[in-house]
Amino acid sequence: MESGWFRAQYITADATLDGIPNVIIYVTRNINEEKQKEEQLIQISRTDELTRLNNRRSYEEDLLEHRSKALAPNLAVFSADVNGLKKVNDTKGHIAGDELIKGAADCLSSAIGSFGRVYRTGGDEFIAIVSCDDPEGLRKEILEKTALWKGNYSEKVTVSVGYAAHKDNPKASIDELEQMADRDMYAEKKRFYLESGLDRRK
């Protein structure tokens, strides 16, 4: 028996004077190809073109799901932002800046892997929703991945990473965890610029 998606319809070939069908032709048509194209379009609409990560639309849709149910005890939200992107854009051009963004995306995706989903939510801004028992270990893994990265236009990429774990904030909603992760990320970014002696505005 053939399986897949089918569209069924019937046509009345003959009917009585009062409209009751006597003969009906029933037709089915395989629409697997149409459904595959539809699913591809949905996937494209949820994918960031530059990094191939999930995009903001995908993130907002997934947030709705998390808001509708109790959060898992091991759920954590990560917030990440590329350091020094403006300087690279200004001195080496946007091609080099895009390379940094893609490099950061690859490192995040590689480190997080099956733990969760990574989203590019802005220019050089990323969010990940993960399930893991050691979020601090995962943060270190992300930073280790970025430390090994080398590009064609830049020798390195550095990323500020913050997180908020539900186990540490059991009463927090998914939106509150995102806000906490953002604050942690900005604290890490401030520390990076202080330690590196770089001017964040340049």
Range of the domain at 75: 49-196
**Structural domain includes residue 175:** yes
Please tell me the total count of domains within the chain. Answer: 2
Q: Is 60 helix (H, G, I), strand (E, B) or coil?
A: helix
Same domain flag for 60 and 124: yes
Instruction: Specify the DSSP class assigned to residue 115.
Output: G
One digit per residue, the tens of pLDDT, for the chain of length 202 reads 566 766 777 777 777 877 787 777 777 777 677 667 666 666 678 899 999 999 999 999 999 999 999 999 999 999 999 999 999 999 999 999 999 999 999 999 999 999 999 999 999 999 999 999 999 999 999 999 999 999 999 999 999 999 999 999 999 999 999 999 999 999 999 999 888 877 665 5
Does the predicted model carry a pTM greater than 0.85?
Answer: no
**Could you tell me which of 186, 187, 62, 66 has the C-alpha nearest to residue 119?**
62
Gap between the Cα atoms of 32 and 38, Å rounded? 10
Same domain flag for 119 and 170: yes
- What H or E segment, with its residue span, contains residue 106? helix 94-112
